[in-house]
Amino acid sequence: FYPIQFRGIPIWRRHEMPLGLIGWQGIVPCKTRVMSDTMVNMVTTQLLDVEEVFRRLDPREVARCLGPEVPKLVQSIGEEVVPLSRVDKLCRAAFLSLPARTISSMNSINSQFLQGLTVSMQNNILSLLNIKNCVIDQMMQDRALLGQLFRKCGQKELDFLTNSGLWFGFLLGIIQMVVALFWDNPWSLSIGGTIVGL
């Protein structure tokens, strides 16, 4: 998992390989792009369907939640287009002086627009949202995130690997020690290490 960034002298280093000529990068941070791509493919092909998830959105509920934010968005866009504070005050005063029926009609049009926008997004979500790019870009910006995900999801498995490696290494070390006692060959440690490594 560590180090997140390559540490060493990057004289000779191949792309997405953790080991350089002089230096090292953690395997998970180094392979973030490939691992994220595999994760997204697995999730989107085996676990969930993006279109189905967006179809579950109720357009009326989306319009109800986003409706109050539209006037704020219009105001911020208006401030960018016309940065004069007098114009802003004038527009606000003009809006507040409108009859209640007109404001209600504007809110109704706003709600209808948001409902239509939601339906349109549901029909075209795959052309609007690329989950793979979103996830990979986010993981590449914060390479430690994938390591955290691994630890959170697979902590028991990682603990098992660590503990089993300790005990199996201890057991194989005892066997190698007994072999070294009865077979006085300088190559016995090297042969035993090769067998353990395989």
pTM: 0.53
83 vs 78: CA distance, rounded Å? 8
Task: Quickly tell me which residue has 């390591």 as its tokens.
Answer: 147
Residue 58's pLDDT is: 92
Q: 24 Cβ partners below 8 Å, 6+ apart?
A: 3, 6, 7, 8, 18
Cβ distance 194 to 172 under 8 Å? no
177 vs 65: CA distance, rounded Å? 70
Complete DSSP assignment for the chain: ---SS-EEE-SS--TT-SEETEEE--HHHHTHHHHHHHHHHHIIIII--HHHHHHTS-HHHHHHHHTTHHHHHHHHHHHHH---HHHHHHHHHHHHTS-HHHHHHHHHHHHHHHHHHHHHHHHTHHHH--HHHHHHHHHHH-THHHHHHHHHHHHHHHHHHHHHHHHHHHHHHHHHHHHHHH---TTHHHHHHHHHH-
The residue type of 193 is G
82 vs 103: CA distance, rounded Å? 23
Cβ distance 133 to 52 under 8 Å? no
Residue 18's pLDDT is: 65
Question: How would you write the pLDDT of the chain (198 residues) with one tens digit per residue?
Answer: 567 676 667 776 666 766 666 766 777 777 778 888 888 888 888 888 888 888 898 999 988 888 888 878 877 776 777 666 666 666 666 666 767 777 778 778 888 988 998 899 888 888 888 888 888 888 888 878 877 887 787 778 877 877 887 788 888 888 888 887 887 777 777 777 777 777
- The encoded tokens of residue 140 equal 């590449």
Sheet holding 7-9, edge to edge: 7-9, 22-24, 19-20
The residue type of 164 is S
